A and B are shown apart, each in its own frame.
Chain A
Amino acid sequence: AQKVTQAQTEISVVEKEDVTLDCVYETRDTTYYLFWYKQPPSGELVFLIRRNSFDEQNEISGRYSWNFQKSTSSFNFTITASQVVDSAVYFCALSEARSGGSNYKLTFGKGTLLTVNP
């Protein structure tokens, strides 16, 4: 069984602070994918990044960066110089093959509510 843990339920920061959202996962598969999605108050989930299990390179995209460490089964997300518009719920998710078939299942963590105050 797969599991995604986002231990931080809520985080509150002041604008321009850096913030790291933690994600720890469990899987028995050697091939899997990890995702981060952002859910602003408007409701839609917005895709941020995908990382496969064989690529441990960190990635930076503007103020966003991701640190994937297979040794600790973690895929953490850092926002540098946070802005009010970053306020949202952030979900980490794990995709792996469903047992017995060719379909795949995306399992979400419980999400972290980030509030950036002006």
Chain B
Amino acid sequence: DTEVTQTPKHLVMGMTNKKSLKCEQHMGHRAMYWYKQKAKKPPELMFVYSYEKLSINESVPSRFSPECPNSSLLNLHLHALQPEDSALYLCASSSRTGMNTEAFFGQGTRLTVV
């Protein structure tokens, strides 16, 4: 099983809503990532978890709150988002966080903030 599963696939939320994005992998990977991708742009790293601990936060606004409940799950809690936060949010995992490690990506959640 080489899948990274993200739910939901699509999400529309208001600026006062609270929602969560979920990501799951069963490959035994110990590193998990959140990326944000705007249309026609490359993915931008948001957060990295290594062995369930947050190791990188790329100066992401606090309205995005990551959580790693266990080695297979990664959540991204959303609160008070802005319309400019509308994007494709990609989750990825890798066996480790080394320089030479390829990542496996989910299909993403297409988020629209209205």
Interface residues of A (CB under 8 A from B): 31-33, 35, 37, 42-47, 50, 52, 91, 95-97, 103-106, 108-111
Cβ-defined contact, A32 with B99, below 8 A = yes
Interface string of B1-35 (1 = CB under 8 A from A): 00010000000000000000000000000000000
Shortest CB–CB separation between residue A89 and chain B, in angstroms?
9
Cβ-defined contact, B42 with A108, below 8 A = yes
Of the candidate stretches B61-69, B76-84, B102-110, the one touching chain A is: B102-110
Sample of 5 more A-B contacts, CB < 8 Å, known A52-B100, A103-B48, A110-B42: A33-B99, A44-B106, A45-B92, A108-B43, A111-B41
Known: A96-B99, A104-B98. A47 touches B104 (CB 8 A): yes
Chain A residues with Cβ below 8 Å from B98 are: 104
Interchain CA distance A84-B92 in the complex, whole Å: 26
The main secondary structure of chain A at its interface with chain B is strand
Interface residues on B, range: 20 to 34
Interchain CA distance A103-B103 in the complex, whole Å: 15
Q: Is B55 among interface residues, defined by CB-CB distance under 8 A?
A: yes
Minimum CB distance partner of B42 in chain A: A108
Please pick, from A46, A97, A110, the residue contacting B99 in the complex, using a CB distance under 8 A: A97
Interface string of B84-101 (1 = CB under 8 A from A): 000010101000011110
Chain B residues with Cβ below 8 Å from A104 are: 97-99
Cβ-defined contact, A47 with B102, below 8 A = yes
Shortest CB–CB separation between residue B86 and chain A, in angstroms?
15
Minimum CB distance partner of B103 in chain A: A47
